[in-house]
Structure 1
Amino acid sequence: MPPSATELAHAMAGAFNAGDMERVIALAGQAGDATDEGIQLLLGLAQQATGRYGQAATTFHHLAHRRPDASAYWNNLGVACRLSGDLSGAEQALAKAISLAPDDADVRYNLGLLYIQQRRWPLAREALLDAVDRAPQVIEARLQAAYACYVCGDNTCQEAMLDGAGDWPGQPGEQALVLSTMLSAQGDLEAALRTLARAQLPGEAAGDSLPLRITAQRVLLHERNNQLEPARRELAQLPLDALDRLPPDAHQARADVWRAHAALAMRGGAYGDAAALYRRALALADDDDTRVSAAFALASACDRLGRHAEAWQALETAHAGQVEIARNVLPELLAPGSQPLQMAEVDRAAHARWQPLPGPDSRHSPVFVVGFPRSGTTLLEQMLDAHPDFRSMDERAFIHELTERMEQVGQHYPADLANLTGAETDQLRAAYFRMVDRVLPDRGQLRLIDKNPLNMLCLPMIMRLFPQARIILCLRHPCDVLLSCSMQPFRSPAFMVLCSSLERLARGYVQAFEQWYRQVEVFAPRVLEWRYESVVGDLDRHLAQLAAFLEIDNAAPMARFAEHARNKRFISTPSYAQVTQGIHPRAINRWQGYRAQFEPVLPLLAPMIDRLGYRL
Structure 2
Amino acid sequence: MDRETLFNSINQKLAANDIDGAIDLAEVAVALGESHPTLFNLCAHRLETQGDFEGSLKLLDQAHQLAPKDASILNAIGQSWLKQAAPRNALRAFAAALTYEPNFPPAHHGAGLALRALGDVAEARTAQMRAAQLDPNYPDPRGALAILALHERKWDEARAHAEAALRLDPTEPAAFLVLATLEGEAGHHEAVAKMIAEGINRPNIAPLQRAALDRLHGDALDALGRYDEAFAAYSDGAAILRAIYAPQHAGEGDEAALDLANRIRREFDQDIKAFPAPHTAAARPEVNHVFLVGFPRSGTTLLEQILASHPQVVALEEKPTLNPEITEFFLDQDSLSGLMNLSEAEIETRVAAYWARIADYGIDVAGKTFVDKQPSMTLYLPLIAKLFPKAKIIFARRDPRDVVLSCFRRGFEMNRTTYDFADLERLSAYYAATMDLAEVYFETLPLTFHVHSHEAMIADFDGQIAKLCEAIGLDFDENMRNFVETAKQRDIRTPSAGQVVQGLNASGVGYWRNYERHMGPAIEILQPWINKYGYA
The answer to whether the superposition gives a TM-score over 0.5 is yes
**Contact conserved, 2:132 with 2:141, CA < 8 A, in 1?**
no
Matched, 1:372 2:295: yes
| Aligned residue number for residue 427 of structure 2 | 505
| Aligned residue number for residue 513 of structure 2 | 592
Moved more, 436-445 or 376-385: 436-445
Match for 1:488: what amino acid?
Answer: R
**Contact conserved, 1:327 with 1:334, CA < 8 A, in 2?**
no
Task: Select the residue among 461, 477, 496 that pairs with 1:575.
Answer: 496
Map 1:203-222 onto structure 2 (within 5 A). Answer: 203=135, 207-210=137-140, 212-214=142-144, 217-218=145-146, 220-222=147-149
What is the CA distance between 1:182 and its match in structure 2? Answer: 4.7
Task: Select the residue among 174, 178, 184 that pairs with 1:256.
Answer: 174
Map 1:238-277 onto structure 2 (within 5 A). Answer: 238=163, 243=166, 251=171, 253=172, 255-277=173-195
**Contact conserved, 2:391 with 2:448, CA < 8 A, in 1?**
yes
Q: Report the Cα distance in structure 2 between the residues aligned to 1:180 and 1:93, rounded to whole angstroms.
A: 23
**Contact conserved, 2:80 with 2:90, CA < 8 A, in 1?**
no
Matched, 1:199 2:122: no
| Aligned residue number for residue 152 of structure 2 | 225
Map 1:110-129 onto structure 2 (within 5 A). Answer: 114=77, 117=80, 125=88
Q: 1:309 to 1:335 in 2, by over 3 A?
A: farther
| Aligned residue number for residue 172 of structure 1 | 105
Match for 1:256: what amino acid?
Answer: A
Matched, 1:516 2:438: yes
| Aligned residue number for residue 18 of structure 1 | none
Q: CA RMSD in A?
A: 4.3
| Aligned residue number for residue 325 of structure 1 | 244
| Aligned residue number for residue 605 of structure 1 | 526
Map 1:21-60 onto structure 2 (within 5 A). Answer: none
Q: Report the Cα distance in structure 2 between the residues aligned to 1:314 and 1:386, rounded to whole angstroms.
A: 37
**Contact conserved, 2:85 with 2:244, CA < 8 A, in 1?**
no
SS in 2 for 1:450: strand
Task: Select the residue among 312, 316, 325 that pairs with 1:389.
Answer: 312
Q: Report the Cα distance in structure 1 between the residues aligned to 2:520 and 2:269, rounded to whole angstroms.
A: 34
Q: Report the Cα distance in structure 1 between the residues aligned to 2:400 and 2:285, rounded to whole angstroms.
A: 30
SS in 2 for 1:577: helix
Q: 1:552 to 1:365 in 2, by over 3 A?
A: closer
Match for 1:486: what amino acid?
Answer: F
Map 1:289-328 onto structure 2 (within 5 A). Answer: 289-328=208-247
Match for 2:457: what amino acid?
Answer: V
Q: Report the Cα distance in structure 1 between the residues aligned to 2:533 and 2:275, rounded to whole angstroms.
A: 31
Q: Report the Cα distance in structure 2 between the residues aligned to 1:467 and 1:289, rounded to whole angstroms.
A: 42
Q: Report the Cα distance in structure 2 between the residues aligned to 1:173 and 1:93, rounded to whole angstroms.
A: 18
Task: Select the residue among 433, 451, 474 that pairs with 1:529.
Answer: 451
Q: 1:316 to 1:172 in 2, by over 3 A?
A: same
What is the CA distance between 1:605 and its match in structure 2? Answer: 1.6
Q: 1:351 to 1:492 in 2, by over 3 A?
A: farther
**Contact conserved, 1:299 with 1:312, CA < 8 A, in 2?**
yes
| Aligned residue number for residue 481 of structure 1 | 403
Q: 1:183 to 1:445 in 2, by over 3 A?
A: farther
Q: Report the Cα distance in structure 1 between the residues aligned to 2:138 and 2:86, rounded to whole angstroms.
A: 34
Consecutive unaligned residues of structure 2, counting only runs of 5 or more, are 1-25, 45-55
Q: Report the Cα distance in structure 2 between the residues aligned to 1:380 and 1:474, rounded to whole angstroms.
A: 8
After superposition, the C-alpha distances for 1:461-496 in whole angstroms (9 at most, x for unaligned) are: 010000111111111111111110110122224345
**Contact conserved, 2:84 with 2:245, CA < 8 A, in 1?**
no
**Contact conserved, 2:293 with 2:377, CA < 8 A, in 1?**
yes
Consecutive unaligned residues of structure 1, counting only runs of 5 or more, are 1-52, 63-76, 96-105, 132-137, 145-168
What is the CA distance between 1:382 and its match in structure 2? Answer: 1.2
**Contact conserved, 1:365 with 1:466, CA < 8 A, in 2?**
no
Match for 1:480: what amino acid?
Answer: D
Relative to the length of structure 2, the TM-score reads 0.77
Q: Percent identity?
A: 26
Q: 1:93 to 1:422 in 2, by over 3 A?
A: farther
**Contact conserved, 2:412 with 2:418, CA < 8 A, in 1?**
yes
**Contact conserved, 2:330 with 2:336, CA < 8 A, in 1?**
no
Q: Report the Cα distance in structure 2 between the residues aligned to 1:274 and 1:592, rounded to whole angstroms.
A: 24
**Contact conserved, 1:371 with 1:456, CA < 8 A, in 2?**
yes
Q: Give the paired residue count.
A: 486
Matched, 1:283 2:201: yes
Q: 1:469 to 1:289 in 2, by over 3 A?
A: same
After superposition, the C-alpha distances for 1:289-335 in whole angstroms (9 at most, x for unaligned) are: 01100000111111111110110110111011111111132232799
**Contact conserved, 1:340 with 1:498, CA < 8 A, in 2?**
no
Q: Report the Cα distance in structure 2 between the residues aligned to 1:449 and 1:333, rounded to whole angstroms.
A: 38
Moved more, 378-387 or 169-178: 169-178
**Contact conserved, 1:315 with 1:487, CA < 8 A, in 2?**
yes
What is the CA distance between 1:400 and its match in structure 2? Answer: 4.0
| Aligned residue number for residue 5 of structure 1 | none
**Contact conserved, 2:258 with 2:426, CA < 8 A, in 1?**
no
Map 1:152-171 onto structure 2 (within 5 A). Answer: none
What is the CA distance between 1:337 and its match in structure 2? Answer: 10
After superposition, the C-alpha distances for 1:126-174 in whole angstroms (9 at most, x for unaligned) are: x789x7xxxxxx9927999xxxxxxxxxxxxxxxxxxxxxxxx998366
